[in-house]
């Protein structure tokens, strides 16, 4: 039996997966979303100043629910990626695969690549405003999401989360300090996959590229995706996670029921086609809106410049792949 452990980042908790954990459960996976000290259900606790201490706390939570010898997959977003790497360093024998999403390390990237302060300030001034929208949550969504930057419904929901429980200012600074100081290990004795969004306004793609080069693995870039890929492109992210781990399933030459090995192996594959179809359908819908806006602007400009001519329609088609590419 295997367990997927999803780890959120700075000042976030299990509620902010926004249904991504349920998406994996619908695939028949066992999923755990532990909170970190200072966040969510543990908001009353003091946040540690070192990523290693967060890892220790998460391992204590897992030890209560994961059977001995049970394989674990780790997915860490942002600071959660640092935590995933540290957990794998501490207990490599329990981890089958680590997925690091939009993360960084102090020994590999400059501070301005790890935290774009200018974009953070822009997000604050350009945030969506409303009576039910908390300014901090509105700023966070604006900064970390590409597709939902002004999604008032999402912001209102996360604002309610903040009213229910939120990290204290002290804990927020302690988490920031822990992330700022984190240095990834020279080696980790488990397979590692590094993913990032090509529209991440918070952490530079250079940070993810540095991690990929450090661990000698490909960088999987999710197109049209911001820092929080779990809300920007959940179907696409789930597809790549399952597509990567499926080939690692063990094969046996002879099964007890004399079923051919290749047939038994086929049963272990995760069905990912529906996830890609969902993502492509979403892309077609949202990109068609963007295309119409862009074409409308272009047509308007063309009409202004060629007001004395007829037939001003421009044969323009904006291109996009909507999936991912490797570096």
Residue reference for tokens 């996360």: 158
Q: CB–CB of 279/323 below 8 Å?
A: yes
pLDDT at 37: 97
Strand spans (E) along the chain: 2-7, 30-32, 71-77, 95-101, 192-197, 219-222, 324-326
Q: CB–CB of 201/123 below 8 Å?
A: yes
pTM: 0.80
Phi, psi of 128, deg, nearest 5: -70, 145
| Cα dihedral 83→84→89→90 (10° resolution) | 70
Q: How far apart are CA 66 and CA 131, in angstroms?
A: 43
pLDDT at 1: 72
* Residue 243 scores a pLDDT above 70: yes
pLDDT at 4: 96
* Residue 141 scores a pLDDT above 70: yes
pLDDT band at 69 (very low <50, low <70, confident <90, very high): confident
Q: Find, among 94, 55, 54, the residue nearest to 73 by Cα.
A: 94
């Amino acid at each position: 039996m295997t367990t997927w452990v999803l780890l959120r980042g700075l000042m976030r908790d299990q509620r902010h997966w926004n249904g991504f954990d349920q998406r994996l459960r619908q695939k028949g996976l066992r999923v755990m979303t532990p909170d970190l000290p200072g966040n969510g259900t543990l908001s009353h606790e003091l946040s540690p100043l070192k990523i290693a201490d967060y890892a220790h706390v998460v391992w204590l939570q897992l030890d209560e629910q994961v059977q001995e010898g049970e394989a674990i997959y780790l997915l860490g977003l942002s600071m959660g990626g640092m935590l995933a790497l540290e957990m794998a360093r501490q207990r490599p024998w329990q981890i089958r695969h680590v997925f690091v999403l939009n993360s960084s390390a102090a020994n590999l990237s400059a501070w301005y690549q790890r935290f774009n302060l200018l974009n953070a300030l822009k997000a604050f001034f350009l945030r969506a405003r409303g009576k039910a929208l908390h300014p901090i949550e509105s700023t966070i969504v604006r900064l970390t999401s590409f597709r939902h930057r002004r999604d008032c419904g999402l912001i209102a929901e996360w604002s309610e989360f903040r009213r229910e429980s939120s990290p204290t200012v002290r804990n927020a600074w302690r988490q920031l300090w822990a992330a700022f100081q984190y240095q990834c290990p020279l080696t980790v004795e488990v397979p590692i996959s590094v993913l990032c969004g090509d529209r991440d306004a918070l952490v530079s793609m250079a940070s993810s590229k540095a991690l990929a080069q450090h661990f000698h693995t490909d960088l999987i870039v999710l197109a049209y995706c911001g820092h929080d890929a779990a809300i920007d492109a959940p179907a696409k992210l789930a597809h790549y996670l399952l597509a990567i781990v499926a080939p690692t399933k063990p094969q046996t030459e002879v099964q007890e029921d004399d079923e051919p090995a290749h047939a038994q192996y086929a049963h272990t594959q995760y069905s990912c086609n529906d996830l890609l179809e969902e993502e492509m359908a979403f892309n077609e819908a949202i990109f068609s809106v963007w295309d119409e806006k862009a074409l409308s602007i272009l047509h308007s400009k063309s009409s202004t410049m060629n007001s004395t001519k007829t037939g001003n329609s421009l044969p323009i088609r904006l291109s996009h792949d909507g999936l991912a590419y490797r570096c």
